[in-house]
Copies of this chain bind each other. A is one copy, B any other.
Amino acid sequence: MLTSSQQQLLRVISQSGPLSRTVLAASMGLSKAAMSGIARDLISLGVLHETETIYGQGRPSILLDLHPEGAFFVGISLLEDPAPMVLSDFNGNIVARQTMPRSRDPEVIAESIAEMLPRLLAEREDALHKLYGIGIALSGFVDEKQANCVQSTLLGWKDVPFASIVRQKTGVDTFIENDAKAVAVSEKLFGSTRDVQNFSVVSFDEGIGCAHFIGGNLYRGNHGGAGEIAHCTIEPNGSPCRCGKRGCLDTVASMKAIKEMAKAEGLACNSLDDLEAEASLGNAAAIRILHRAGNALGLAIAHLIQFNDPGMILITHVEGRFDGLFGTVMRQAAEANVLPRYAGQTPIRTQRVDGDVWARGAASIAAHNFLIGPTPN
């Protein structure tokens, strides 16, 4: 395996983006001499490579970055059926793809993974001896070692040591993670938040998920529940939620809730875009629903900003557009409910993602473990 200095170097690069040897040495508290050797070793291992040359006064500096083809990872999403299984390079590019049937039996899933793995790797021969891990995203709570699924309603699991089951069947290092947290990790490693140390990702879909990066690390919370904003009380004494409380964000602002409210109002809308279209035609019910949902999501995001002062909020969404009424109301509510001094200080970015989010997120969990080791929280 890698030495601790080598890991530290990869960690710094994955947290800050491409850097020169001199800058790396300074930020790691090492001498240029030490840096030189560590970089040489990692380059000859094929994990690092030289990219851009920066010209200034004096000898130009050469930026070092992770080599896209230096390591490969498998990502599997257990949120969909059939479950997608992808092979990702070090940049988050998907270089091969398969699907497999989803089951509720851990052993059966592990068996399927072991069966599909050679077929996946056959699509990309050079990845075989550079496969460093498998990551699996699922809906539910995962322990801090990313090994055991503490609870998953969707899969009907409770305290299932799924990572070691898969590891045993495949012989490859395996890690599992909650869906929203996996997406956050992939944004940090591969996406638009590489050089942001503190941010929260809100994944907007049928349900609402959220995960925090703090100090450059995924923060999982004491019970793995950090970021569970879906069930914060946003409308005191509001509608009952399937969790047992009332007025949870999930009952007002998730796609599921929005569609249900639309149905209850007799609107034939099957997507956010449909509802936005109705609203722009002046349909009062559609406008009311979008206002209510946008306000709720905006207030929750305002709380996120007030409580944690992140450097960025990134909203990922598979469906819909965020430049309509819903998005506008959401942004206004977010701005209106933070300290006026802070209003506008925290960028709220929305990003449409393709259907590979979960599988790519899963792969990023394996990459994260390779790069950074187990998360400290």
A310: nearest chain-B partner, CB-CB: B222
Q: Check: A197 CB closer than 8 A to any chain B CB.
A: yes
A221, A229, A302, A345, most chain B CB atoms within 10 A: A221
- Identify A215's interface contact among B4, B308, B346, B376, CB under 8 A: B376
Q: Check: A130 CB closer than 8 A to any chain B CB.
A: no
A247: nearest chain-B partner, CB-CB: B337
Q: Check: A60 CB closer than 8 A to any chain B CB.
A: no
Contact B306 A228 (CB under 8 A): yes
Contacts of A227 in B (CB 8 A): 307, 309
CB distance from A335 to the nearest CB of B (A): 11
Contact with B along A295-306 (1 / 0, CB 8 A): 000010011101
Q: Check: A233 CB closer than 8 A to any chain B CB.
A: yes
Contact A302 B232 (CB under 8 A): yes
Q: Check: A198 CB closer than 8 A to any chain B CB.
A: yes
Q: Check: A2 CB closer than 8 A to any chain B CB.
A: no
In the complex, chain A residues 203-231 whose Cβ is within 8 Å of any chain B Cβ:
212, 214-217, 219-229, 231
Contacts of A243 in B (CB 8 A): 339-341
In the complex, chain A residues 281-307 whose Cβ is within 8 Å of any chain B Cβ:
299, 302-304, 306-307
Contacts of A308 in B (CB 8 A): 212, 219, 221, 226, 307-308
Q: Check: A377 CB closer than 8 A to any chain B CB.
A: yes
CB distance from A71 to the nearest CB of B (A): 23
Q: Check: A245 CB closer than 8 A to any chain B CB.
A: yes
In the complex, chain A residues 310-346 whose Cβ is within 8 Å of any chain B Cβ:
310-311, 336-342, 345-346
Bound Cα distance A4, B28 (Å): 12
A228, A306, A309, A377, most chain B CB atoms within 10 A: A306
CB distance from A353 to the nearest CB of B (A): 23
Bound Cα distance A155, B346 (Å): 26
Contact with B along A101-142 (1 / 0, CB 8 A): 000000000000000000000000000000000000000000
Q: Check: A56 CB closer than 8 A to any chain B CB.
A: no
Contacts of A221 in B (CB 8 A): 198, 308-310
Contacts of A198 in B (CB 8 A): 219, 221-222, 377
Contacts of A58 in B (CB 8 A): none
CB distance from A53 to the nearest CB of B (A): 30
Contact B345 A223 (CB under 8 A): yes
Contacts of A306 in B (CB 8 A): 225, 228-229, 231-232
Q: Check: A266 CB closer than 8 A to any chain B CB.
A: no
Contact A233 B337 (CB under 8 A): yes
Q: Check: A156 CB closer than 8 A to any chain B CB.
A: no
Contact A245 B197 (CB under 8 A): no
Contact A307 B304 (CB under 8 A): yes
A interface with B by C-beta (< 8 Å) = 4, 29, 151, 197-198, 212, 214-217, 219-229, 231-233, 236, 243-245, 299, 302-304, 306-311, 336-342, 345-346, 376-377
Question: Which 5 pairs between the two chains have the least Cβ-Cβ distance?
Answer: A221-B309, A222-B311, A225-B309, A232-B306, A244-B340
- If A197-B222, A243-B340, A304-B307 are given as contacts, then 20 extra A-B residue pairs at C-beta distance below 8 Å, sorted by A number, are A4-B29, A197-B377, A198-B221, A198-B222, A198-B377, A214-B214, A214-B377, A222-B310, A223-B309, A224-B309, A225-B309, A226-B307, A227-B309, A232-B302, A232-B337, A233-B337, A243-B341, A244-B340, A245-B340, A307-B308
